[in-house]
Amino acid sequence: MINPGDILLTTKGIAPHEGIYVGSGRVFHNHPDNSGEAIVDLKDFAKSGDYSIKSRVSNPIVGQRIMANIRTMLRCPGRYDVLRYNCQHSVNKALSGVAHSPLIKGLSVAVLVVAAKQLIGKLRQ
């Protein structure tokens, strides 16, 4: 059973996609297809029909706080940007008040490491 505040995970093409279950078969997420943050039917969130529960809300009070954060966010919905404000940014902002994306952070670090290795290789020549 899915509870309000649970984080859901599905895929959009090859990319993982996250949202927060808000109850009544609806999910809060951020996606370019609907111009950013919105609440959609679960079937529209997971078009393939496949999804998993990434993490469960710890208790009903936490779930209520998350739902309040989502209501506040939807007063001025964030627009999707793959690098600066994607689904992970929205989910983490609803959970903690801080928008961040571990996936983008990891990719950024990887790009910096590769660039640094190339620069060091050129300097050694």
60-117 pLDDT, tens per residue? 899 999 999 999 999 999 999 888 899 999 999 999 999 988 665 444 444 444 555 6
**Residues 22, 93, 83, 56: what is their CA dihedral angle, to the nearest 10 degrees?**
-50
67: left (phi over 0), alpha (psi -120 to 50) or beta: alpha
For 104-116, the pLDDT digits (tens) are: 544 444 444 455 5
Give residue limits of the domains in the chain.
7-124
Architecture in CATH of 7-124: Alpha-Beta Complex (3.90)
